[in-house]
Chain A
Amino acid sequence: MKGKTYLALATYTSIEVEQSLIERAKKGDRHAYGELIVKHRQAVVNVVYRLCGDSQLAEDMAQEAFIRAWQKLPDFKPYAPFRYWVYRIATNATLDVLRREKDMLDLDEVRVATKSAGLEESASQAESTRQVHQAIRSLPPASRSVLVLREFEGLTYQEIADTLEIPLGTVMSRLSYAREKLRQSLAHLLEEK
């Protein structure tokens, strides 16, 4: 019985099944789109959370990204995975909001968000988490999105270039810049390690 369940799960996660879900969703099948949401929702929320450091905003932006993706779905070309396509929509939507609000969330809000995200963390770990979030958020949006996709989502340079629609060289330079900035701002934490 368990074997069958695992087999079903493996089949579900296959590219062919996802393609079929996308095709059905393109024709207006909400159930198929719902399955795609369930499958990719957490990854999208995580990307947005890494970009903004706010759990509520991450939820809202993920929701916004899936609604925009639904509206743009007939234009989706399966050259890249569906998840990366939603990442791009979510990243753009989040960066738009962040630019508009211009860091409206102050450090206290970030502190609340990180504390609620890790109740079992020790105080010092929570503090270093806060500092890492702050350092990431202080990066320019363009470099921040490249860093998040590479470090946290593990996308290759080419995948990042495709996702954000930027040249490969730009990916490398933005990543290098982001890391250099983080090394400077988190130098004290790196020394502790």
Chain B
Amino acid sequence: MKDHFTELLQAYHDNELPDWQVEQLEDHLSKCQHCQAELTELQALSTLLHSVQPMIQTSNPAEFAKKLIRLLPQRPAAPIWQRSLKLGWQLSPLAMMLVLVFAQTSVLVNNLIIGVNLLGGIPVEETLSQLGANLSPGIALTIPDHANSFFGSIGVGSLFGFDISFNLTLPAFTSLLALSWLAGWWISQRQNDTKNEPSNKDG
């Protein structure tokens, strides 16, 4: 019971009690000497604590700020999600290059094996079934009709049996991405330089 009133008295002392409880507590206080003494002690403690001198200003706030500004890093760090996004963006050309290298290597190796086998007289269908047709997972390997012979496979529109447009599109896309990345990086560097100019002047 005592604890209950102590909590309430504390909230009352801190002006944190709702009105309906204030009325109830004041009614109780008028009758209870123990709670009156408790409240008086709380008030006395607050008075004692406030009698302690606050911190004296040891340096001029403007001087403090000026000194501190010089210690600040170049600019506030971006939020974590922004930093992750930026890192992902910066690494995207590399990822694309890896995909490109993997795809090209798979296709070249695949078609080289097919070409060698064709020279040896083994039918394409049989070779593919032997290889399990899984040398380049995720890439649909289609053999054009004219690829039934090794020399036919390097005919117009294809390279070792693979569509040339695909071979050109991927590098072009990767190059564009790399270029846009470079442009973005250059612009952000320019913006940083512009932002830092005024503060540098102030030294």
A residues contacting B by CB (< 8 A) are 25-31, 33-35, 37-38, 41-42, 45-46, 49-50, 55, 58-59, 63, 66-67, 70-75, 114, 117-118, 121, 125, 128-129, 132-133, 136, 150-152, 156-157, 172, 175-176, 179, 182-183, 186, 189-190, 193
Whether the pair A38, B61 counts as a contact (CB closer than 8 A) is yes
Q: Give A173 to B46 CA distance when docked, in angstroms.
A: 17
B71 at the interface (CB under 8 A from A): yes
Tell whether A189 pairs with B58 under 8 Å between CB atoms, given A33-B69, A75-B79, A150-B14: no
Chain B: how many interface residues by the 8 Å CB criterion?
47
- Closest Cβ of chain A to B192, distance in Å, is 8
Interface residues of B in 62-92 (CB under 8 A from A): 62, 64-66, 68-69, 71-80, 82
Q: Which residue of A lies closest to B196 (CB)?
A: A28
Whether the pair B49, A132 counts as a contact (CB closer than 8 A) is yes
- Closest Cβ of chain A to B81, distance in Å, is 10
Which of A67, A70, A128 has most B Cβ within 10 Å? A70
B32 at the interface (CB under 8 A from A): no
Which of B6, B54, B59, B62 is A46 in contact with, Cβ under 8 Å?
B54
Whether the pair B73, A193 counts as a contact (CB closer than 8 A) is no
Whether the pair B199, A193 counts as a contact (CB closer than 8 A) is no
What are 8 residue pairs bridging A and B, where the CB atoms are less than 8 Å apart in the complex?
A: A30-B202, A34-B68, A63-B71, A66-B68, A71-B76, A74-B78, A121-B53, A156-B14
Q: Give A152 to B75 CA distance when docked, in angstroms.
A: 33
- Closest Cβ of chain A to B71, distance in Å, is 6
